[in-house]
Every structure is written in structure tokens, then in C-alpha cells.
């Protein structure tokens, strides 16, 4: 079955530090890949996505590249801010959609804390 | 455009009771999915509804059920509540179809079972 593995947290960084959160996946075919972010007490917000190999998703300074050869979708940001403190989830959706499932499979989440 | 709304935001129930949660998708979205989020199990898929039909179901007992109305609003019901049902229940909507697979989440309903 499908699975997503994220690096264990929590991750604590100083403001303006470089961020990498690793994400690898297991799936057949070419799934769509997503990063969602969850702020305390809130639901999930889509951060970025990529739907095919070598696509780069980007938003708010965050980037992730869909690497089919390494089945990875690592999240990066060059300079984190205190406001980036949240839990980050990597997710995939199986590519054989159409009439099929729109189910997302999530990683366990990585809690990021950015200190001033 | 208004986002996904969920009601109520918080609920406290006791074991054995039942509960109904409501989700209104983004206007124009016809697919609604439900997820359960707990500290131990993380985010787990419950089911998806599209055009009033359940399209897929996760690995949850029959106590968990749902439905979708003609206006795409969805409800999920949990009967005979157990302590382990305490969780954040998230609803997500999407357009469905090729290239429209992004799911947009609501703020969730936090259920506490005592």
C-alpha cells in the first residue's frame, strides 16, 4: 500500500536558519505529492504541491521538488521566521484517479519551532 | 470564496452516545473527504463522498458512517462512542477530476469523549 515517511521531529531552529524536512514515499505509478501545514488549533492548509516527476512546488519561500528516482519530496526554506512555527505534513494521492479514490496518505508530521 | 466550514468546532460527549458532525464544502466542490487526526495514529482517512455516493472508505469500524446531500454538504456520524474516538475530525473538499485533486481542509471539529 501507499505510505509516507517524514523525518521525526520536533525540529528547533533559530530565525533565518535553513530548513529541510525530509519526506520519502512508497506508491505505485506517479502519485501527486503535497505539503500541508497545520498551525496550533487549526486545520490543514495546503502549502505546495507537485503532480509529476521533476516538478517543483513553491509557496511563501518554501520549495519541494518531486524526485521520482529517489521517491522523495523534501521541503526546504532558505530563511525561516518565527511565524513558520507549525506542524508540517507530507502527503500523497495515488495517481490512478478518475473514478477512483481521492484519498490522501499522510506522513506523521514534523513539528517545527523557530526561536528568535 | 468562503472556505470549508465545519460545525460544531468543539464537542464533549460521553461513552455510548452518538455524534453527528457537519461539513460544508467550498462552493462548487462536489467531493468531500473526512479524516481523523489523533496524536497516536496521525491523520487517517475515513471516507469520501462524491455526488451523494460514498466512493472510498478507510479502515474504520461500521460505527463511523457518513452521507452527502444534494448541495454537497456532508455529515459524518459516530455511534456508540468510545474513549478512543476522541480526536480532531477534519473535512476536506475538492473539485475532483484530472488536475483538480487538491483537497482543501476545514478547521476541524474537536471531539472529546469522556
What whole-number percentage of chain B has pLDDT above 90?
82
Flag if A101 and B102 touch (Cβ within 8 Å): no
The residue ranking higher by pLDDT, A95 or A110, is A110
Flag if B43 and A89 touch (Cβ within 8 Å): yes
Q: Which of A54-58, B62-66, B92-96 has the lowest mean pLDDT?
A: B92-96
Which residues of A lie closer than 8 Å to B, measured between beta carbons? 32, 34, 36, 42-46, 49, 51, 89, 93, 97-109
Angstroms from A80 CA to nearest CA on chain B: 24
Residue given cell 452518538 in the structure block = B18
A32: its cell numbers: 501527486
Q: Is the pLDDT of residue A97 over 70?
A: no
3-state secondary structure of A84: helix
Closest CA to B99 of A69, A50, A28, A73: A50
Q: Which of A29-38, A97-106, B7-16, B35-44 has the lowest mean pLDDT?
A: A97-106
The pLDDT tens digits of the residues spanning B71-114 come to 999 999 999 999 999 999 999 999 876 566 788 999 999 999 99
pLDDT confidence bin for B52, thresholds 50/70/90: very high
d(CA B21, CA B40) in angstroms, rounded, equals 22
Interface test with B, best of A102, A103, A108 (most B CBs within 10 A): A102
With a CB cutoff of 8 Å and minimum separation 6, the contacts of B39 are none
Q: Is the pLDDT of residue A96 over 80?
A: no
Q: Is the pLDDT of residue A99 over 70?
A: no
Flag if B48 and A107 touch (Cβ within 8 Å): no
Flag if A34 and B102 touch (Cβ within 8 Å): yes
pLDDT confidence bin for A95, thresholds 50/70/90: low
d(CA A59, CA A50) in angstroms, rounded, equals 12
Q: Is the pLDDT of residue B61 over 90?
A: yes
Q: Is the pLDDT of residue B41 over 70?
A: yes
Question: Mean per-residue pLDDT for B20-34?
Answer: 95
| Chain B CA closest to residue A50 | B102
Q: What is the pLDDT of residue A57?
A: 96
Residues of A whose CB is below 8 A from B103: 46, 102, 104
Closest CA to B74 of B2, B1, B7, B3: B7
Amino acid at each position: 500500500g501507499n505510505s509516507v515517511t517524514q523525518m521525526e521531529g520536533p525540529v528547533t531552529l533559530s530565525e533565518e536558519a535553513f530548513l529541510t524536512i525530509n519526506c520519502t514515499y512508497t506508491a505505485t505509478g506517479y502519485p501527486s505529492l503535497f505539503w500541508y501545514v497545520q498551525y496550533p488549533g487549526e486545520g490543514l492548509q495546503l502549502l505546495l504541491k507537485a503532480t509529476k516527476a521533476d516538478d517543483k512546488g513553491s509557496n511563501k519561500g518554501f520549495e519541494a521538488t518531486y524526485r521520482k528516482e529517489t521517491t522523495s519530496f523534501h521541503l526546504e526554506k532558505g530563511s525561516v521566521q518565527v511565524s513558520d512555527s507549525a506542524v508540517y505534513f507530507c502527503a500523497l494521492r495515488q495517481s490512478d484517479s478518475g473514478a477512483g479514490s481521492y484519498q490522501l496518505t499522510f506522513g506523521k508530521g514534523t513539528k517545527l519551532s523557530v526561536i528568535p | 470564496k468562503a472556505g470549508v466550514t465545519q460545525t460544531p468546532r468543539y464537542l464533549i460527549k460521553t461513552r455510548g452516545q452518538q455524534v453527528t458532525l457537519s461539513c460544508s464544502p467550498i462552493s462548487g466542490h462536489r467531493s468531500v473527504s473526512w479524516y481523523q487526526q489523533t496524536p497516536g495514529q496521525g491523520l487517517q482517512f475515513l471516507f469520501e463522498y462524491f455526488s451523494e455516493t460514498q466512493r472510498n472508505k478507510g479502515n474504520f469500524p461500521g460505527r463511523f458512517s457518513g452521507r452527502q446531500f444534494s448541495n454537497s454538504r456532508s455529515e459524518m456520524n459516530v455511534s456508540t462512542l468510545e474513549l478512543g474516538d476522541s480526536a480532531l475530525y477534519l473535512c476536506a473538499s475538492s473539485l475532483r477530476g484530472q488536475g483538480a485533486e487538491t483537497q482543501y481542509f476545514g478547521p476541524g471539529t474537536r471531539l472529546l469523549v469522556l
